[in-house]
Amino acid sequence: MSLLDLVRSDLRDFGGYGSARKTGLKGSVWLNANESPWASPADPGQSLNRYPEPQPAALKARLAALYKVREDSVLMTRGSDEGIDLLTRALCRAEHDAVLISPPTFGMYAVCARVQNAAVVSVPLVDTGSAFRLDVDAVLRALELSVAKAPIKIIYVCSPANPTGAAVALSEIERLLIGVAGRAIVVVDEAYAEYSEGKSALSLRPRFDFLVVLRTLSKAYALAGARLGITVADPALIRVLNAIAPPYPLAQPAVALALEAVAESAADEARRRAGRIVVERERVAAALAGLSGVLAVYASDANYLLVRFADAEAAFQGLLASGVVVRDQRAQPGLGNALRITIGSVEENDALLSALKALEVTRA
């Protein structure tokens, strides 16, 4: 089966909107896009009266170099959230196809499926008590079963996993890809890869056409507010995603910022900062494990910790009362007593730990 056979047949040859910027025409008097001839007085660079490049070449070249992939395998989107949405719409026929997720997991996979009216097949992660593990064999069994009902088109592997924290070993991802054998695309979401010592699935890209890897500048590159996500996939699939993407997805100021943020020296700094977060993560994990109200702190390869509490409600509310906001995970399957705590600066982490210690004192 070829990769394009997985794409909705009505979209395989779709060219998308032919925007003024896509024509590639050359000239010096621009009267083809109904833009204002004057820049806004509010525009610092005096160039935003013109529509931006849909896929800015300089940023694409830099990202391809950063991730060591081919430029034509890169699509830039408004956050990787948009990459997930485009993949769902490109592959899943409404009311026919399905995506597979391994809960507890990042919510947007199911949200995008819901918007597209695609089914969601769940194969839970296995809780070993100290980590959550992807059940590759169960995923492969679900894929087999799905063919007769709603064919699974996308299998999501979140690695490091949100909210559980564990990275999936590359050997397990490879085993999954071999087992799937092109019957679905496998999307490895590496939003938190910079905090992990594990090897990126990007290294498997050249061998597997139907492997897609998602990266983002929202986490280690500290640009969540700029919205810049990256989908790395086979060029044939990138062409389809590009065709169904909005004509000008990336705001030019965000692109300019992103270019600076991934320049070599800034990228080095991002790596150093990720290293500092990892050191803090281990310190906070050890301190949390020493608190009597804490039942479990899961091993994490990301910039957060999943923590089970004897009384998660008291911990959540007590932290809030101290001004410390963490993410409540109690609605997720199997996480009825868990909170997800992002690793912040040393001072922020100390504030978290002091608030939790104070709660213990109050209770004693």
Ligand X SMILES: Cc1ncc(COP(=O)(O)O)c(C=O)c1O
210/185 Cα distance (integer angstroms)? 5
Residues in contact with ligand X, total (CB under 6 A)?
12
Side chain identity, residue 288? L
Using the minimum distance from each CB to ligand X, give the nearer residue, 73 or 216. 216
Sequence length of the chain is 364
Shortest distance in whole angstroms from residue 232 CB to ligand X: 13
* Exposure of 289 in the CB half-sphere (CA atoms within 13 A): 12
- Using Cβ positions, the residue closest to ligand X within the complex turns out to be 79
Query: If you count DSSP H runs as helices and E runs as strands, how many of each does the chain have, helices first?
Result: 10, 13
Segment near ligand X (CB under 6 A); pick from 22-30, 74-82, 122-130, 276-284: 74-82
Is 233 among the residues that bind ligand X (CB under 6 A)? no
| Among the listed residues 229, 249, 293, 318, the single contact to ligand X using CB under 6 A | 229
Contact range with ligand X by CB under 6 A, out of 49-57, 75-83, 272-280, 338-346: 75-83
Q: Is 200 in the site for ligand X (CB under 6 A)?
A: no
CB 67 within 8 A of CB 224: no
Residue 119 DSSP label: E
Query: Which residue type is seen at 98?
Result: A
Which 246-275 residues touch ligand X, going by CB under 6 A? none
Q: Which residue lies nearer to ligand X by CB, 67 or 106?
A: 106
224 binds ligand X (CB under 6 A): yes
Q: Judging by beta carbons within 10 Å of its beta carbon (0-12, 13-18, 19+), is residue 364 exposed, middle or buried? A: exposed
Which of the ranges 94-102, 143-151, 216-224, 273-281 carries the binding residues for ligand X, by CB under 6 A? 216-224
Tokens of 70: 């081919």
Among 6, 103, 186, 189, binds ligand X (CB under 6 A): 189
CB 305 within 8 A of CB 288: yes
Query: CB 295 → ligand X: shortest distance, Å?
Result: 24
Measured from the CB atom, the residue of 291 and 341 that comes closer to ligand X is 341
CB atoms within 10 A of CB 42: 6
The correct pick among 143, 191, 262, 341 for binding ligand X (CB under 6 A) is 191
What 8-state DSSP symbol labels residue 311?
T
Q: Using alpha carbons, select from 331, 110, 87, 344 the residue that is nearest to residue 212.
A: 87
CB of 289 to ligand X, least distance (A): 24
Site mask for ligand X (CB under 6 A), range 117-156, x = bound: ----------------------------------------
Q: Which of 88, 102, 116, 218 binds ligand X (CB under 6 A)?
A: 218
Amino acid code (one letter) for 100: L
User: Which helix or strand (DSSP H or E) is residue 358 part of?
Assistant: helix 346-363
Question: Is 66:220 a contact under the CB 8 Å cutoff?
Answer: no
Residue with tokens 């919205």: 227
The residues near 118 (Cβ < 8 Å, ≥ 6 apart) are 88, 92, 93, 94, 96, 97, 98, 99, 150, 153
Q: Between 242 and 303, name the residue whose CB sits nearer to ligand X.
A: 303
Give, as ranges, the residues between 158 and 177 that touch ligand X (CB under 6 A): 158, 162
H/E/C letters for each residue in 251-267? Answer: CHHHHHHHHHHCCHHHH
Hey, which residues between 78 and 117 contact ligand X (CB under 6 A)? 79-81, 106
CB-nearer residue toward ligand X: 97 or 189: 189
In the complex with ligand X, which residue's Cβ is closer, 75 or 291? Answer: 75
Q: Which stretch binds ligand X (CB under 6 A): 40-48, 73-81, 267-275, 307-315?
A: 73-81
Which residues of the chain form contacts with ligand X (CB under 6 A)?
79-81, 106, 158, 162, 189, 191, 216, 218, 224, 229
